[in-house]
Structures are given as structure tokens and as C-alpha cells.
Structure 1
Amino acid sequence: MPRIAPLEPPYPADIQANFDAIMQGAPPLLLFRTLATSERAWRKFRAGSLLDRGPLGLRERELVIDRTCALAGNEYEWGVHVSAFAAAARLTPEEVAATVGEGSAAACWSPAERALLAAAEALHDRAALSEAEFAALRAHYDEAQVLEAILLCGFYRTVSYVVGALALPPEPGAARFPA
């Protein structure tokens, strides 16, 4: 049971409009319904502006998000993203499993993908990138893409804190961490 009761329908008109814009017809996630109990928390969360497309492609974006969530033990958000985006991002079952397991050390990644995953791992472990890690990112990505990757790591680390602190159960039908 979540530690803060989520909003239940019917939602206020402005909240419903936010849910509609983000969820594109699907029911709102428990995370969103819980954050929306606080107008300020919901507004600040949405102001992170990382819930939309950015300069990274969908595959790269999902690799960063999935690895960040896996490292933080955030099965809730990892499962939401894998269920919603893995197929569209053309992630194979082996690659999905590697976001939880071997990470950047898995043999399935391109050099560019390995650099992204290694950056997520470094940021998780040290909240910093070495010169070599930054150079590896820049060898494959422009400045806007590098900044986006860093921001995604931080944003989804924050999401992991929220999900873990509120003890949110997995969404129905969402993927679960591999055994």
C-alpha cells in the first residue's frame, strides 16, 4: 500500500488535462496520481521537462532511464518504461535484462550505448564523470545530448527516491526485474 493515498477519479479538470497530455489516453500512473496530491510537488515534477522527447533518440533515452532505475533498485519505474517503450526502442530481451544485470559490461551494446550506460553507472556511483567517461560520451554525442543524458540520470534518480520512499507497488502489467 502506498504511504500517501493517490488521487482517485474524478480528477480536478487541470489535473485531468495534465494526465491526458502525459498518458495519451492510458490511465494515469500511480506515481503521477500520488504526486498530484500536492499541487506544488506535481507542478515541480512536471517542470522537470524530461517527460517529453529531447535530443536523444528513444533507444538512447530508454537505456539511460532503464539503467538508472535498475541501479537505484526502482523496479516500479523500470517496469513502466520497459513495458511502455522497450519494443518501440527496439530493445531485445537480452538488452533489457542487461540494463538490470551487466550494464555497460554486457557484450550487446554498441560503443555509443556502452558510453551512455557507463555514464549512468558513474553518476549513480560517484555523482561525477571522469575525464575518460566524459570523453567517451562526447565521442558519440553532442553537448545537448550529453546534458540530456546527465539530466535524465538525475531526474530518474529523483523518481527512484520518490517511488522507494512512498513504497509504490508495481503498476499492473508492468515488467518486473529479471530473476
Structure 2
Amino acid sequence: MPRIPPLEPPYPADIQAQFDRIMRGAPPLMLFRVMAGHQRAWGKFGGGSLLDRGPLSLRDREIAIDRTCALNGCEYEWGVHVSTFAAAAELTAEQIRATVLEDSQAACWSEAERALLLAVDALHRRATLGVAEFATLRVHYNEDQILEIILLCGFYRTVSYLANALDLPLEETAARFPARTSCGA
């Protein structure tokens, strides 16, 4: 059980309508159930307005989200996203593994994806992009996309804080972090 109890069904009609819109018929995630029990927090969370697709491709969006969650040690949100979106984003098993275990320059990524991952890593480590990192990102992404990348990293860092600090149990159907293997294993 998380540190703050989640809402239990039946949910208030307005909350149920929001869950239906976000989850498209699937049961609401534990994170949503915890947040929705607190009107101000739920409003601020939903006010992030990053639950829509935005100007990035689904693939780029998921790479940024998965990497951000992995860097923050947030298996909860990483697993939800991998289970829900990895196939549609055409992420290979090697790429999914790399979001957790490899650096931004892993051979499984395209040049544009390496620039994206380099930016995600820099934002995580230093909360900024250096001149060269920004220039490399700009080669592959327009201004709206760059802003979306920065916003996604910040939003999913916050989501990671929430899931980790609330000690949310992993969703039953969510993926799990890949195991680190040693040479020859």
C-alpha cells in the first residue's frame, strides 16, 4: 500500500470521468488514484498538460520519458510506459534495456535519438543544457519540440518523485527494470 491511501471505487462522477478519459477504459493507475484523492494536487498534476501527444513523435516522447524515469530510479512509471507504449513507439527490447542500462551513445539509437538522450541525461544531471548539447538537439528538433523535451523531463522527474516518495507498488501489468548482467552471463 502506498504511503498515502488511494481513492477506492466507486469514484465520484467527475473523477470517474477523468479516469475514463485518461485511461480509456482501463482501471486507473495507483498514482492517479492517490493524486485524485487530493483536489489541489490532482489539479496541479493534470495541469501539467503533458498527458497528450504534443509536438514530438510517440517514439521520441517515450524515449525521453523512459530515460527520465530510469535515471530517477522510478521503476513504477518506467514500467507503466514501457508496457503501454513501447510497442506502439517501435522500441526494441535492446532499446528498452538501454533506457535503463546504457549511456546516451549506445549503438541501438539513431543520431537524433542519441541527441535526445544526451539532452535528457544533461537535464537530469545538471538541470541545464550546455551550448553544444543544445546545438546538437537543435539539429534534429524544432523549438516547439525542444521545449516539449524539457517540459517532459521536468514533468516526469516530478512523476518519479511522486511514485518513489509515495512508495507506490508496481502495477501488476507493468514492465520491470531489466536485470544487470555480468560478462558471460
Q: State TM-score, norm by structure 2.
A: 0.96
Match of 1:80 in 2: 80
Runs of 4+ in 1 over 4 A off after TM superposition: none
Letter in 1 for 2:7: L
Q: Secondary structure at the match of 1:56?
A: coil
Match of 1:10 in 2: 10
Runs of 5+ unmatched residues, structure 1: none
Give the 5 Å matches for 1:1-179. Answer: 1-179=1-179
Measure, in 2, the Cα distance between the counterparts of 1:154 and 1:89. Answer: 21
- How far residue 115 of structure 1 moved from its aligned partner, in angstroms, is 0.6
Q: How many residues align?
A: 179
Measure, in 2, the Cα distance between the counterparts of 1:12 and 1:137. Answer: 44
Q: Secondary structure at the match of 1:95?
A: helix
- How far residue 173 of structure 1 moved from its aligned partner, in angstroms, is 1.5
Measure, in 2, the Cα distance between the counterparts of 1:123 and 1:154. Answer: 8
Letter in 2 for 1:177: F
Aligned-pair Cα RMSD in Å: 0.5
Q: Deviations over 1:120-174 (max 9, x none)?
A: 1000000010000000110000000000000000000000111111000110021
Measure, in 2, the Cα distance between the counterparts of 1:29 and 1:9. Answer: 12
State the identity as a percent.
Answer: 73
Q: State TM-score, norm by structure 1.
A: 0.99
- How far residue 108 of structure 1 moved from its aligned partner, in angstroms, is 0.6
Is the Cα–Cα contact under 8 Å of residues 67 and 103 in structure 1 kept in the other structure?
Answer: no
Measure, in 2, the Cα distance between the counterparts of 1:44 and 1:34. Answer: 13
